[in-house]
Amino acid sequence: MLTTRFTQALGIDHPIVQGGMMWVGRAELAAAVSEAGGLGIITALTQPTPQDLVREIERARTLTDKPFGVNLTILPSINPPPYDEYRRAIVDAGVTIVETAGSNPEPHMEMFHEHGVRVIHKCTSVRHALKAEKVGVTAVSIDGFECAGHPGEDDVPGLVLIPAAADQLTIPFIASGGFGDGRGLAAALALGADGINMGSRFMCTQESPISQVVKDRIVEASELDTNLIFRSLRNTARVAKNAVSDEVVQILAEGGEFEDVRPLVAGARGRKVFEDGDLDAGIWTVGLVQGLIHDVPPAGDVVRRIVAEAEDVLRSRMALVDAAPLPA
Ligand SMILES: Cc1cc2nc3c(=O)[nH]c(=O)nc-3n(C[C@H](O)[C@H](O)[C@H](O)COP(=O)(O)O)c2cc1C
């Protein structure tokens, strides 16, 4: 059992979170992670309306009695979804843990606090983590450059970002990006984090509601098989390397603008990859850690074996302390 400030603050058994994932974070996956003692998270915007989100939350409750959370990703956009209505739905449904991401959670904090909701804010820099601490979040989840999705523009990998965060934050925080096994969890704890957040690893589990073809692709792929798109637009996203993301990288590298790639990056095309298993239908998100993913187990097994492996790693490393020198 690995008890940390994070497990205590959130009332969970293991310091492992399944981060919000568009099209992936549905009730079955979130419930399986929570049922195993981690923290599963339903992704609000995967549900077409706030009412659908409430139904998804109710469905998760039929699958587990353990705490689970809801991710609210607040991205600036021309036609934003009704964030306030999703937030109201979360609160009215009695959810007590929310993962915010995408921008400053401050405008949402008053209502969350009023209803006793604990907020885990996910961000990609120490300065944003400190800002989130200041506006009263319970914990921070800090994504290194390795992560799937949006790593920000600072390009600081976890090996430096995690201890830098540990040096400055006072609230509990978890490390995110590039974690997929117990060695990673042990390393995150050693670097000062109170747990880990994972996306890609949980995307490649039995309860993950995406095509088996995509899961098989993740198992086959190496850490070299991702692309960073939108670099020149300062809205970087790490996605799977495929014909479409290669084309996007090329167009933007040759001076193209967002309008030139808009049809290629449409969300509906990415959704088709997950639903139909057509790997080149569009852009789809995955992280460097796919190079460490070799199977498609039940999500609960992922939680249990990562904890067991991390405990073994920590114990075996402890044996190095004051160990007698090896015979020459
Ligand atoms: C398919 C997929 C979709 C994602 N969608 C979201 C999202 O909608 N909102 C969000 O905050 N993070 C999203 N993420 C990021 C994850 O929550 C997590 O921060 C990230 O995957 C961590 O990196 P890892 O994949 O190396 O574990 C997504 C990740 C994946 C793999």
Claim to verify: residue 48 and residue 161 sit in the same structural domain: yes
pLDDT of residue 41: 98
Claim to verify: residue 61 and residue 165 sit in the same structural domain: yes
Task: Give the C-alpha separation, 308 to 315, whole Å.
Answer: 11
Q: How many CB atoms lie within 10 A of CB 327?
A: 4
Indicate if the pLDDT at residue 79 is higher than 90: no
Within-domain flag for 203: no
Task: Give the C-alpha separation, 135 to 138, whole Å.
Answer: 10
Within-domain flag for 280: yes
Atom number of ligand 1 nearest to Cα 146? 26
Can you give the residue range of the structural domain that contains 245? 212-288
**CATH number of the domain that residue 180 is part of:** 3.20.20.70
The reported pTM is 0.97
Task: Give the C-alpha separation, 145 to 159, whole Å.
Answer: 10
Enter the tokens of residue 93. 């449904």
Indicate if the pLDDT at residue 248 is higher than 80: yes
Ordered DSSP codes for 171-229: S-EEEESS--SHHHHHHHHHTT-S-EEESHHHHTSTTS-S-HHHHHHHHH--TT-EEEE
Q: Is 101 in the pocket of ligand 1 (CB under 6 A)?
A: yes
Within-domain flag for 315: yes
- Interval 103-134: pLDDT, tens: 999 999 999 999 999 999 999 999 999 999 99
Within-domain flag for 206: no
Within-domain flag for 207: no
Q: What is the mean pLDDT of residues 134-159?
A: 98
Domain count, the chain: 2
Out of 18, 33, 147, 197, mutate this one to test ligand 1's pocket (max ligand atoms within 8 Å of CB): namely 147
Which range is least confidently modeled, 66-80, 139-153, 251-265? 66-80
Within-domain flag for 147: yes
Within-domain flag for 328: no
Claim to verify: residue 232 and residue 93 sit in the same structural domain: no
Within-domain flag for 204: no
Claim to verify: residue 185 and residue 93 sit in the same structural domain: yes
